[in-house]
Chain A
Amino acid sequence: MRWVRLVLGVLAGIPLLAGCSAVAATAPRCGDTERLGLVAQTVPSAGYVPCVAGLAAGWRSSGFTAQNGSTRFDLVSDRAPGYPVTVALRPSCGSTAGATPIPPRTPGGRTYLTLASIDPRYAGTMYDQFPGGCVSYRFDFARGPHIALMAQLAAAVGFVPRAQLRLRLRALLGVDPG
């Protein structure tokens, strides 16, 4: 009886440990084809699917949530503790009136920046707008390291064209997310 309990305890312990990772659900990397497929399913109209291209030292992703209509995740830098960047994919950006256009990050797309404050904190939202979708990045950095942090943020999030993702999914699973 005791060994049965021991075995069950160990079996129960494995998912409990796995559960720790459940709390820290990370955003898919650009090479995770099927996970990106789920992101693509959340906004079926989006021409690009955001993903984690590469995190600079001190950055991590957490709080990944994908549901019909949107995908959200956080990017946190150890130089901005308590102020995660919230990245969200939605069908549209809403109004970008008053936003400042900056060099686009996606072919055929547009990128905007709105700033809520510059000093003492550099805070605002950046938008990547492309056909059928929009990725927003809400940030709030201390002044000083904000220049490096903004550059690292821009490099952290990449985009996979939907057409390319469809080809990859067809080859991998024989499915087409449309």
Chain B
Amino acid sequence: MEVSRLPTGARPAPVVTAGSEVARRRRRPSGEPPPLPREAPGGTRWYAAAVALTLALEIAMAIPAPRRWLTAVDDVVLRALATVRTGWLTSVLRAVGHLAYADPTRVLAWATIAVLLLTRHFRQLLSYLAMLLLVAVSAAGLALLLGRMRPTAVSMLAPWRGYAHPSVPVAVFAAVVGGAVYTAVPTGHRHRLAAGVATTAIAAVALARLYLGIDHPTDVLAALGIGGALPILGYRLLCPHEAFPVRYRRGRTAHLELSAARTAAILEALDRQLGIRATAVAACGLDASAGSTPLRIRRADGSAVFGKLYALNHLRSDRSYKFARMMLYGRLEDEKPFATVRRLVEYEDHMLRLLRDAGLPVPAPLGIVEITPEREYVVVMDFVAGAKDLGARPATVPEIDAALAIVQRLWHAGVAHRDIKPSNLLVRDDRVWLIDVAFAALRPTPWRQAVDLANMMLSLALASDAALVYQRAVRIFAPDDVGEAFAASRSVTIPTQLRARLRADGRDLLVRFRELAPARPPVPIQVWSVRRMAGSLALLVAVALAGSALYGYARVAGLL
């Protein structure tokens, strides 16, 4: 009888039994929405409609017949408003109208810029500046293009300047106030309150200018479209709150908020895509993670799995981080940014599987779930229950040996982890697990593999003693390998967390290891690529131009 055999090394397909995890997995049929559909925030369609109407109004104003008709309608409204003119109301509305004059608006704009700068909300700051410029230039440009007179139906009761349509002061005031709320006030109750105050202020200014007879109603409507609706659409594209939340508390800003909708979507995705029935999702270890939002996922049976939520903001952080490293240190190696979030999670899942297959003690990979296509994914893996970070307590000799064996296995597998630090080494019962393999590289440069050994030894020495770690290391590594490891080590090759702990520790462990290991000249690691040189030159030119550009910007945007 012929017996079919699996090819050597192949894994048998999982047995599908009713109620098993595999049986519960299901393909999302065409047309069915993903767990967390990408939906425009509430009101976006209304803002888009307002911008479209503004565009239509501007076209109408450029054609003589509709312009004459619109002017007639404007005059009717202004005459009606003039019937309620009284002395005290005029005084009050003159004061309200002053809000839109240049000085108060400039003060608010500069205050917002200062807050965003000091609180390091750079993306919001750039978006705010871009929107102010867009509004100021659009409104002033259209006013010159259309060349409309001021109202003639009623007497004008306040100072005015320039062509009437669109109302440049109302547009700029709306952009400054609305932008301040969107970019500088955190979402939630305070944001709603601030938005209400801003809307009231803008409406009051608009109404005051109509009452005082210095703007036509259509001037104000166009200004609200340009200064109110258009920037909101811009902010929602450039710095949406979901991806770039405004926060003033300390901590990393890269983490996504686990809203009720997102939590429900993760639970649904785990069930449908991986067959994992989970009951709760909570963020964990946020301080040690900058590139993703780590999640502890509780299963229905009480056990836990670990997930790393990746989204567009993490992808952008990865890009800017790698660009900054290239500028500062040169292209250390393979630091090309990922093109999409999907590629990012695919890479991490692939590295987990590769390291597992190479016999490395990594959390078992469980797969990837899609939350929002091309925007949010979770890489799921086993949770190492009961484990602590290396250094939470003094390291034992078996732990030191196990940790050093990890580096040996990495070398045998031709992989560099590139981020070996205490928080990426979990310890339990004399066993050590290696986690966070997102930076790992296959077939790296020799010095990078050597640096993994140095970082591992430094991490271990923090939890024990340099001499002991060296003594255990030379049992499995040649002394020359250890010498090479510390010859290649310098501050840029040591992860930030490890560097901070070394500083806090007080012992100069790097020097101590160099004393213990055979002497070796430093290994050169800097690479001067054309890209780096061109990038550095471009950066210098950009800095040189920034001053004059800033001055020009402030003039055009009306901030001076």
Interface residues of A in 41-77 (CB under 8 A from B): 41, 65-68
Q: Give the interface SS of chain B, mostly helix, strand, loop or mixed.
A: helix
Partner of B68, one of A15, A16, A172: A172
Residues on B with C-beta less than 8 A from A37 are 149, 152
The distance from the CB of A18 to the nearest CB of chain B, in whole angstroms, is 3
Residues on A with C-beta less than 8 A from B71 are 173-175
Does B201 reach chain A (CB closer than 8 Å)? no
Given known contacts A4-B237, A175-B153, A178-B152, A25 and B64 CB-to-CB distance under 8 angstroms: no
CB pair A65 B162 closer than 8 Å: yes
> B11-19, B135-143, B180-188, B395-403: which one contacts chain A?
B135-143
Partner of B141, one of A15, A38, A172: A15
Cα–Cα, bound, A65→B156 (Å): 18
Cα–Cα, bound, A38→B162 (Å): 8
Residues on B with C-beta less than 8 A from A22 are 137, 140-141, 144, 556
Residues on B with C-beta less than 8 A from A5 are 237
Residues on A with C-beta less than 8 A from B137 are 15-16, 18-19, 22
Given known contacts A8-B237, A21-B144, A41 and B138 CB-to-CB distance under 8 angstroms: no
CB pair B159 A18 closer than 8 Å: no
> A27-35, A81-89, A105-113: which one contacts chain B?
A27-35
The distance from the CB of B332 to the nearest CB of chain A, in whole angstroms, is 29
CB pair A41 B150 closer than 8 Å: yes
CB pair B138 A18 closer than 8 Å: yes
Does B234 reach chain A (CB closer than 8 Å)? yes
Cα–Cα, bound, A169→B152 (Å): 11
Residues on B with C-beta less than 8 A from A148 are none
Does A12 reach chain B (CB closer than 8 Å)? yes
Given known contacts A41-B150, A176-B152, A177-B149, A66 and B162 CB-to-CB distance under 8 angstroms: yes
Cα–Cα, bound, A175→B68 (Å): 9
CB pair A15 B142 closer than 8 Å: yes
The distance from the CB of B106 to the nearest CB of chain A, in whole angstroms, is 18
Interface residues of A in 152-169 (CB under 8 A from B): 169
CB pair A28 B147 closer than 8 Å: yes
Residues on B with C-beta less than 8 A from A173 are 67-68, 71, 149
Residues on B with C-beta less than 8 A from A21 are 141, 144-145
Residues on B with C-beta less than 8 A from A176 are 152
Cα–Cα, bound, A32→B163 (Å): 13
Partner of A38, one of B64, B72, B133, B150: B150
The distance from the CB of B104 to the nearest CB of chain A, in whole angstroms, is 18
Residues on A with C-beta less than 8 A from B136 are 19
Cα–Cα, bound, A15→B156 (Å): 29
Against A, the Cβ 8 Å flags (1 = close, 0 = not) of B151-170 are 01100100111111000000
Does B75 reach chain A (CB closer than 8 Å)? yes
Cα–Cα, bound, A177→B68 (Å): 15
Cα–Cα, bound, A68→B157 (Å): 10
Does B134 reach chain A (CB closer than 8 Å)? yes
Given known contacts A8-B234, A174-B68, A32 and B147 CB-to-CB distance under 8 angstroms: yes
CB pair A19 B152 closer than 8 Å: no
Partner of A68, one of B134, B138, B160, B556: B160
Cα–Cα, bound, A16→B159 (Å): 28
Partner of B72, one of A8, A19, A34, A174: A174
Does B148 reach chain A (CB closer than 8 Å)? yes
CB pair A175 B149 closer than 8 Å: yes
The distance from the CB of B171 to the nearest CB of chain A, in whole angstroms, is 11
Cα–Cα, bound, A11→B149 (Å): 26
Residues on A with C-beta less than 8 A from B164 are 38
Given known contacts A67-B160, A175-B75, A25 and B152 CB-to-CB distance under 8 angstroms: no
Cα–Cα, bound, A172→B147 (Å): 14
Residues on A with C-beta less than 8 A from B138 are 15, 18-19
The distance from the CB of A92 to the nearest CB of chain B, in whole angstroms, is 19
CB pair B161 A34 closer than 8 Å: no
Residues on A with C-beta less than 8 A from B67 are 173
Residues on A with C-beta less than 8 A from B133 are 16
Partner of B161, one of A15, A19, A65, A169: A65
A171: nearest chain-B partner, CB-CB:
B68
B214: nearest chain-A partner, CB-CB:
A68
Residues on A with C-beta less than 8 A from B130 are 12
Given known contacts A8-B237, A67-B159, A18 and B149 CB-to-CB distance under 8 angstroms: no
Residues on A with C-beta less than 8 A from B148 are 34, 38
Among A18, A28, A67, A176, chain B packs the most CB atoms within 10 A around the CB of A18
The distance from the CB of A63 to the nearest CB of chain B, in whole angstroms, is 12
The distance from the CB of B315 to the nearest CB of chain A, in whole angstroms, is 12
The 6 closest A-B pairs by CB, nearest first: A18-B141, A19-B137, A15-B138, A67-B161, A37-B149, A22-B140
List B residues at the A interface (Cβ < 8 Å).
64, 67-68, 71-72, 75, 130, 133-134, 136-138, 140-142, 144-145, 147-150, 152-153, 156, 159-164, 234, 237, 556
Q: List 8 A-B contacts (CB under 8 A).
A: A15-B137, A18-B141, A19-B556, A28-B147, A35-B149, A38-B150, A67-B162, A68-B159
List A residues at the B interface (Cβ < 8 Å).
4-5, 8, 12, 15-16, 18-19, 21-23, 25, 28, 32, 34-35, 37-38, 41, 65-68, 169, 172-178
Task: List 18 additional contacts besides A16-B134, A178-B152; criterion CB under 8 Å.
Answer: A5-B237, A12-B134, A15-B138, A15-B141, A16-B137, A18-B141, A19-B137, A21-B141, A21-B144, A22-B140, A22-B144, A35-B163, A38-B147, A41-B150, A41-B156, A68-B160, A173-B71, A177-B152
